[in-house]
A and B are shown apart, each in its own frame.
Chain A
Amino acid sequence: MAFAFKYIKGDTVIHKLDPRTKLAMVFLHIVAVLLIWDLRILSILFILGLSWLVIAKIDWKNLKKPFVALLLLLLFVTVLTNMFYPTIATESPHILYSWGPIVIAYESIIYSFTVSMRYLAIFPIATLFILTTDPSKLTISLSKLKIPYKLAFSVNIALRYLPTLLVDYEMITNAQKARGFELEKPTGGFIAKIKRVAPIMVPMLILSIKRAEQIADAMDLRGFGAHKKRTWYHDTKLQHNDYIMIGFYLFVVLAILYLKLYIFTGLWIPPFDLVKQYLWVPLFGG
């Protein structure tokens, strides 16, 4: 199952960063990625993200499934849709292959790789955030960022109940399978096929609403929402490392902004002749 993500306890420098710092890291990293259309810089940002994962000692087995799923998604969504637009990147493309209406140009392949790399470069930082941030500390940090604490609590509940609901989901699926239910049965019309998700979703909805009522009762009994402002049992403070990290990322974004404005202004297309001479010919022959 693709959804294997939840907070894993750890004791590294990254784990000890304030959730606000990690939010800033995610935000600034994404800004940096969205600014640039250059494969070389995007690769550096990807490696930067990966190095945080290495520092946080995240096990590869936690990342393998979503990473493979993302690669498949990129293959289908970005590569296959963009590759067949020969003029997507330039007015006069180098045609590599054409067969009837299918025209594959060198520039559109580079464009597809660049778009895929823009997705890939965000992957490590987003997973880092999910895997190393304690949801209850995130709630405190969010409310310190002046986000209404009720909304912050919703975020906390969503993160807290993801694993629980996942167990419910598997339980209900197994229970329905034991009753002879088949989600992917090939018979029946179009609407019948769509309705087939109901035996799983309806019990899940009812169970969730019941659970929500119990949680809400427990929260009401403890006086949740009685006052406009509230305090927290734990406190989070920005430490030395937090300022260093935010400073570092601000520097990265400024550097990328400079590169974007003056050096790598647009989509980078490696010179066609050089790629042909040094990559294509040695690998695939003339």
Chain B
Amino acid sequence: MAATAAQRGLDEVENPLTAGLERLPVAPTTLVIFGATGDLAKRKLLPALYNLAHDGALPERFHLVGVSRKTKEHEEYREECEAAIRRFSRRKPDEAVLEGLLSNVKYVPGTFDDESVYGELSSVLDGFEQEAGEPLNRAFYLSTAPSFFPVIVDCLGTSDLNHHKGGEVRLIIEKPFGTTLEEARELNRRVLAKFDESQVFRIDHYLGKETVQNMMAFRFANGMFEPLWNRNFIDSVQITASEDLGIGSRADYYDSAGALRDLIQNHMLQLLCHVAMEPPVSFTSEEVRNEKVKVLQAIPEPAAQDIADMAVRAQYVAGQAGGDDVIGYLEEEGVPEDSNTETYAALRLEVDNWRWAGVPFYLRTGKRLARKVTEIAVTLKPVPHLAFSQEGSLGVQPNQLVLTLQPNEGVSLRLGAKIPGTRMIIRPVNMEFLYGTAFLSQSPEAYERLITDAMRGDATLFTRNDEVEAQWRICDPIVSAWTAEPGPLPTYVAGSQGPKEAEGLLREGDHWRAI
């Protein structure tokens, strides 16, 4: 798996033609999607591939192989791909581009534990390479139910598809990466028995979002914030990822996962890392991920006796959303009537290091809350002395910096300002920056960026093995405690701000921001 000396020598010959190009080259690649007929492939992966093709951003030679249980011919699968692209692409397909993309699609049917599937897959891959007259890189995208991940990885290894003479082999693994720390460790063990870590790309699609990447630019390209970015000036940090929708048709997945596993264990801890990490020495994948792992390691593992004080869960009950009456979680189709799965989770975490000691990090997420919003609110400490009377003021409040990831990506800074008039009366005002108003370009879909990066071998926006385990180390004790505790869970009314129990997590004087 390691590069040969000769290969390293060739790598060192630079390509001066790439200077100044916005789109960097991607080596010729065959992408194999396991779970090719699933929802993720149809809604996200295939449209992302079409849009990359439309923009001329796919490798100069690109082939797609779908692998799934259902028996069908290549042509039938191409028709399914076409239908998915037409339905879910962010732009109307160009017929000639679509036809060109589909002409390079093949399908391999079979169960994932059937060795003959991998033999046939190998033949298809070899066929593409004979046609091309050169070895092509291979990327295996695991978009199946998580229980198949180890099976597929093992079979790829035993079929010798985990390495390829003359080309790179990459393994892209969808979330969830385990449902407990033990499962994550076991999956890492199985994966790393067959693949080198440098070949593995664990997807957290939040990391592909432009606004998450912008957080690093915001922190590390602006000198004005970094001097304040520590326990001396920051009072608390609140990270919110709320949805106004219910679980829709995802009862099967959601009821086995819950809010903590669905969002906090991966996406929200990644956001926390972006807020709390030290500036990396460089923006290489290893340096960035090293800094994130240090943050996760600085968060103490929750002790069993502390969990009730630092974690809250709840379920929504019937209420109103968007002016309509909506049902509660237990009435949703496919949800067991005695389900104890949380649809809301909130945590109070500490990052025990020199920069952040004593600053609470509040994380909350939930379904059927008042509004859809993802934001990070950094509240600064109040000024030490107020020289003027507050009489008549709406309150001199601490400065608050809010980074909004959705729906209106931007940065807002709350300041105190004098109300025009003869008296010194203060009220908070917002200084707003909205990404949409300041750039002409449209952000690509997260999967477009992530698929391209994986094919290029750039792992910066993917989760490393130790990072996944460090995330689970924080969440696993909470999952265990909640699993052990019988219900019923606290509740909140659909369309509300969440359960009142969440107030109990807050330090005296702190408040949840209105969703």
Chains A and B come from one and the same complex = no
